[in-house]
Structure 1
Amino acid sequence: MNILFVSHETVFGGATLSLLGMIDELKKENNVYVLVRQKRGPFIEQLRSKNVSVIYAKYYSWLIPQSRRGIKGKIVNLLHRVACGINYIQGLRLRKEVQRIQPDIIHSNTSVINMGAILSELYHIPHIWHIREFGEEDFGLSCVFSEKYRYRFMERHSDRIICVSRALLEKYSSYISNEKLVCIYNGVSFEPYKVRQYVNKSKYNLLISGRLSEAKGQIDAMKALSYLKRKGISHLMLHLAGGGNIGFYRNMAEKLNIKDQVKFYGHINYLTELREKMDIELICSKKEAFGRVTVEAMGSGLPVIGANSGGTVELIKNKETGLLYCQGDYRDLSEKICQFIENAEYRKKIAESGCKYARKNFGVDINAKKVYQCYRDIGVV
């Protein structure tokens, strides 16, 4: 079978890492092609190193950040609508490539772009739309067209819509017929991760991975550290791995009197080595669509503390495979941190349980089999 994936980024975000794992499995018995909209980037280099065919075309997002309001915001929105119209022209320019590879299915890797749906419409090829983000709730994105048009377009130009959590599926079920929706959790390759070994320590390293933003909840963790410091618990170090406005968060750390307890790394493609030095991983996001970093942390043997929202509650069984705290409540988070640092045996027990659960349920092979079954269900296999 010939599979054409449509990607939206060339850096290693969660969606792209999940796609890469899926490709590794599916290319064992299928011909895989990936359409990208940039000529260079770590993802493209990785694809070429794996002998995966890469096709380039310039296309635009139909979900964009809504950071501007008023007249300027309307002008930006109008320009992006025009750009989305250009996507049809680019689709027509891809005719020779489509004829050359003869895809049996087109698989869009994100809701951010509509290029895969356009190609499906132009060339009458079955289309899978893989939804890996809420959009507005987690990334502050909204459609350049009306929401009504967006959902109608998605339903009309998709044979199946894959949601990466039940929370995400529930959102889409309000707009799209249930027979087109299916929940398939992301897959993670645990091969690079060594299972963390635990010893009693005098200092603890806490990790949050993900872009620095209000939606990711880093401020919850910083406030928790500040609160614990005021209570005389200062043997904690918070490590923030993610790009964004580092200056803002440095200033916040200084205001909270924890500047010596927070370390910034910027964007990191692979967290394997960093996780080996950590003791606890925090997932403080307001609403994760899935939470790839949650599964990675669990699978590497780290005890996790996650917010009780979005897809995170589907991954962490409270007090069994991790701990859940009330998102936005830094005192509750600090209490959960104390439960781990004050009881080494409890921390180890939760970490081991989480590791077994993650590796059993969220491997890339499990994900790829379910995606392939999705192809079968729509009759392309």
Structure 2
Amino acid sequence: MKTVLFISPTGTFDNGAEISIFNLMCYLVRQNYQVINIAPNSDQAQQGDYIQRCEKNGIKVEIYPALKWWWESAPGGLPGSEVERAFYYRDTIGRIRAAIRSYHVDVVFTNTVNMFQGVVAAACEAVPHYYLIHEFPENEFAYYLDKIDFIDENTDEIFAVTGALCTELSEKFKSHQVKSFTPFTEIQGSELIPGEETRLVSVGRLTKRKNQLELIKAYQKLSHPDVELVFIGAWDDDYKTICDAYIKDNQIKGIRFTGQLEKPWEAITSQDICIFTSQMETFGLVYVEAILNGIPVIFSNNPGHLSAYDLFKVGQVYQLGEITELSQMIQESLSNFKALKVVALEQVECLQKQYTVEKSYEQILETLASQKTYPPKSIRHLVNLLSTNEPKSKLSRLESKIRRKIRQFLKG
């Protein structure tokens, strides 16, 4: 029995990387792998649900304290002092090394390009490491272009989301053939509650990147004043304020925000149309969930959405930023809803056969099953500098000592 260790990005189910790889972990458990999952401590209420769902499915979870779980230059700011962050980085590496030894781990996965601790710990313990990359190197994630050489030199396998991302990264990594995977969501179709009127629905967190203000502006242009627009999901406060102000200033009626729902698809009715306006997605799991539920969809032509569309060929695509085009597409969909619904329902069975865990993670599963050996990494020679299991109480003493020495140096 192989033991695999996953280093997870958030320890919550509010992002596609966690959702998709949770399903991979569950599948591996069913295939008799021992699966360990290490995630950062989070103050978010949903972390309890995350831990419970993992353990219910046979996944051993360890939650580690951390000030900054991602690279220093990654999104999320810089909490604490530089010395404190360095302590926690080294502490995390030390803890991962200990887990590798105690669980007799065969392979370490890092489920995001935004972390380095797993690849360092694996190199120090001479076990293979695989990166799972979900993020395009653009906007807030453009920073990791500067980390390409580190990743290339210290990991053993690189897997990226199929389609545009895999193609782009294949040109950037020189020492690896970038392999692909398709993010998998466990929703395989469900009975929608009957609806009385056709609604427009957006599922997902309200954020600038998800770009829901574009949908509000398109909705404003409609000639169907009685059609309700519903946003299902939590929100970033700053972006919600911008949307609320636009709605108020333009006196737009018929828009409703539900907030976070534990099971958002149970709030969808048989008469709904789903609309996804994201500026950027790696793949678009909500798009996949919608079409698996037989819901007519309209979505923007960002690279991730198009990668998913290339696989499934379902739904209507509009040019991102073209509000008039989106509004006209919505108008036509409302007029032709019955025909669109029939087509959407007819495609579900075929989509379910096409979209399976085995097919989605085929290259990962094949690599895991292989007996390939990997060369040791030179970073192992710095093992004593790269990790620690010192108690946190030592941190405050160390920081005070460093500050005294800096002050003495500056005084000459």
CA 1:135–1:207: 2 relative to 1, 3 Å: farther
Cα 1:269–1:156 change in 2 (3 A) is farther
Structure 2 equivalent of residue 20 of structure 1: 22
User: Residue 285 of structure 1 aligns with which residue?
Assistant: 278
CA contact (8 A) 2:192 2:266 kept: no
TM-score (norm 2): 0.79
Distance of 1:170 and 1:103 partners within structure 2: 31
**Structure 1 residue 269 displacement after superposition:** 4.2
Q: Aligned letter for 1:235?
A: D
The 1-side partners of 2:214 and 2:315 are apart by 18
Q: Percent identity?
A: 21
Q: How do 1:1-381 residues align onto structure 2 when only pairs under 5 Å count?
A: 1-12=2-13, 13-28=15-30, 29-38=32-41, 40-59=47-66, 60-62=69-71, 64-65=74-75, 76=78, 83=85, 86-134=88-136, 136-137=138-139, 140-143=140-143, 147-148=145-146, 150-177=147-174, 179-191=176-188, 193-196=189-192, 203-228=197-222, 232-242=223-233, 243-245=235-237, 246-258=240-252, 260-276=253-269, 279-316=272-309, 321-352=314-345, 354-376=347-369, 379=372
The question of whether the paired residues in 2 share the 8 Å contact of 1:10 and 1:42 is answered with no
Give, in angstroms, the shift of residue 294 of structure 1: 0.7
CA drift at 1:80: 6.6
> CA contact under 8 A between 2:158 and 2:176: conserved in structure 1?
no
2:284–2:304 Cα contact (<8 Å) kept: yes
Instruction: Work out whether residues 166 and 180 of structure 2, in 8 Å CA contact, stay in contact via their aligned partners in 1.
Output: yes
> Over aligned residues, Cα RMSD in angstroms?
2.8
Tell me, in whole angstroms, the C-alpha distance in 1 between the residues paired with 2:90 and 2:162: 31
Seen in structure 2, the aligned counterparts of structure 1 residues 354 and 132 have a Cα distance that, compared at 3 Å, is farther
Instruction: Provide structure 2 residue ranges, at least 5 long, that are not aligned to the other structure.
Output: 374-412
Residue 281 of structure 1 aligns with an amino acid whose one-letter code is C
Q: Does the residue aligned with 2:35 lie in a helix, a strand or coil?
A: strand
Change (3 A) 1:325 1:84: farther
How many pairs are equivalent?
Answer: 360
Larger Rg: 2
Deviation, 1:195, is 4.8
Deviation at 1:267, TM superposition (A): 3.0
Residues 172 and 3 of structure 1, relative CA distance in 2, 3 Å threshold: same
Deviations 1:76-108 (A, max 9, x none): 499579736742342124433221101110111
Relative distance call for 1:317 and 1:64 in structure 2 (3 A) is closer
Tell me: CA distance 1:179–1:378, structure 2 relative to 1, closer, same or farther (3 Å): farther
CA contact (8 A) 2:135 2:141 kept: no
Deviations 1:130-175 (A, max 9, x none): 11122544xx3454xx733x11111122222111132111332232
Query: Which residue matches 2:403?
Result: none
TM-fit CA distance, 1:327: 0.7
Give the residue type in structure 2 aligned to 1:114.
Answer: F
C-alpha separation in 2, matches of 1:261 and 1:235: 7
1:73 maps to which residue? none
Q: Residue by residue, what CA displacement relative to the aligned partner does 1:12-67 show, whole Å, maximum 9, x if unpaired?
A: 12211112211111101211110111174321121122232112323421153388
Q: Which stretches in structure 1 are left out of the alignment for 5+ residues? A: 68-75
Q: Scaled by the length of structure 1, what TM-score is found?
A: 0.85
Q: Residues 66 and 97 of structure 1: is their aligned pair in 2 closer, same or farther, counting only changes over 3 Å?
A: closer
